[in-house]
Amino acid sequence: MRTVRTAAELRSPRPDGSVGLVPTMGFLHEGHLSLIRRAAAENDTTVVSLFVNPKQFGEGEDLEGYPRDEARDAALAEEAGADVLFAPPLEEVYPPDFTSSVEVEGPLTTVLCGAGRPGHFKGVSTVVAKLFNMVGPDRAYFGQKDAQQLAVIRRMARDLNFPVEVIGCPIVREADGLAMSSRNAYLNNGERELASALSRAVATQNEADARTVLAEAGIEPEYIETFRPAEDEPAVLAVAARVGRARLIDNTIIGGKS
């Protein structure tokens, strides 16, 4: 595996055959690794990007404290089958005079996490558009864990004719059901135990029952809502809640398995 820091290096030499991209903010766990393994199985070259994107963090959010460990991430990504780790410095992605953005407008980005984190999805779509242009992937892999993000990226790719197949991958969970997340590192033992209530809540597949499960655990949700990612896709029951200093999200496809 090669670690590269610039868009120019990504293109010299331009890899032969198909390219799969797995965008991440690092501190890799089994959820990320499942995406990397799938990309490696389906493409000639797998690029994993590692970039904590300041534009998708709001004021007072956890940008500074976000967990980082590039050496560990590099070892895990390589073991999972990555060929290239793209770990650009901030100025490579956002030079000082950077003033452009990509925004998916409308209900897809104003509900759920879009309501509680204004500007978040604009930051996500901007960085993913840049990654698509810098890496030039044939396929890009995103987790169903961030169901609304996946829907936003699908819409952006379609609306703006990015020649990329956007592939959604199932949620990877801990043994007690907690959806894996880099932010789980913020949880102390008691909070970690409490956090499994989110997965039990969405597993009810029903908004009212999900509310009851969270209330019984003493967790005040930021939202519990059903959401339809696209007209031809099934609805998702999604939840967000703060447990300790971690803002956690989870969801289930209604009528589905994960």
* Chain contacts with ligand AMP (rule: CB under 6 A): 24-25, 31-32, 34-35, 142-143, 145-146, 169, 171-172, 179-182
Q: How far apart are the first and last CA of the chain?
A: 32
Minimum CB separation from ligand AMP for residue 42, in Å? 16
In the annotation, is 32 catalytic?
yes
Minimum CB separation from ligand AMP for residue 94, in Å? 17
Which residue among 32, 38, 55, 200 is the active-site one?
Answer: 32
CB 244 within 8 A of CB 187: yes
Minimum CB separation from ligand AMP for residue 147, in Å? 8
Which pair of structure tokens corresponds to residue 158?
A: 């379609």
Q: Which is nearer to ligand AMP, 83 or 146 (CB)?
A: 146
Q: Which is nearer to ligand AMP, 79 or 216 (CB)?
A: 79
Q: Which is nearer to ligand AMP, 14 or 257 (CB)?
A: 257
- Which residues are known to be catalytic? 32
